[in-house]
Structure 1
Amino acid sequence: SIPAVQRAKGRVATVAVNSFVFKQPIFIGDVVSFYTRIVKTGNTSITVDVEVYVQRDPANPTCHQVTEAQLTYVAVGEDRKPRPLPQI
């Protein structure tokens, strides 16, 4: 997750997939866009909401949400052990 890596200023590991909801299928040819936002931070953890949208018809710019998820990451050091998040 790019936002988690940026907030951690380094490596992160996925420690939980809190939720993952498939609302509609994604088809070959769909243009897929992922949107993320950090919703919570702890001492070492970062929780990110993810929304996935598709544009099915290039002539019609309407987007449809197809998936939503929430994942939790932990900042890890070179030793792959949790480390505190840097201060903002």
Structure 2
Amino acid sequence: MKIGEEARIFEIVFPTHTNNYNTLFGGHALSLMDRLAYIVSSRYARKHMVTVASDKVEFRHPVNEGDLVELVGKVVRAGRTSVTVDIDMYSENLLSGARELCTTAEFVMVAVDDDGKPASVPQE
């Protein structure tokens, strides 16, 4: 995987993923985003990665129970041991087809070796 190349995951919002307003619980949204950040950064670096920061999280629109969410992630920067991943989450009403950008975030992931110490990542 190269800088700028996208990866995607999809999930249906079930009742167990919602809050008391029947919209996607923010903690579950962050969990999905962190999962994709791990996938994207691991595919880029081909190393074990750990999350060191989630920044600039913006919940723009609520996601309703029953909606499909599509998460799109890409590496935007690579440092000596870290990778910055941008994640966009879109919601889609499966009945109407209405789709909108609902959440954005930036994750910083660090490569670690077998001893849990920072390891170098490829530079482009």
Which residue matches 2:102? 66
Give secondary structure in 1 for the equivalent of 2:43: helix
Q: Could you tell me the percent identity over the aligned residues?
A: 32
- Output the TM-score relative to the length of structure 2: 0.65
Taking the aligned partners of 2:62 and 2:123, their CA distance within structure 1 comes to: 40
After superposition, the CA RMSD in angstroms is: 1.4
Q: Where does structure 2 lack aligned partners over 5 or more consecutive residues?
A: 1-37
Which residue matches 1:43? 80
- For residue 16 of structure 1, the aligned residue among 46, 53, 67 is 53
Instruction: Give the aligned length.
Output: 87
Q: Where does structure 1 lack aligned partners over 5 or more consecutive residues?
A: none
- Output the TM-score relative to the length of structure 1: 0.90
Q: Which has the higher helix share?
A: 2
What amino acid maps onto 1:10 in structure 2?
K
Taking the aligned partners of 2:43 and 2:105, their CA distance within structure 1 comes to: 19
Which residue matches 1:79? 115
Deviation at 1:3, TM superposition (A): 1.1
Which residue matches 1:52? 89
**In 1, are the aligned partners of 2:78 and 2:123 still within 8 Å (CA)?**
no
Which structure exhibits the higher relative contact order, with contacts defined as CA atoms closer than 8 Å and separated by 6 or more residues? 1
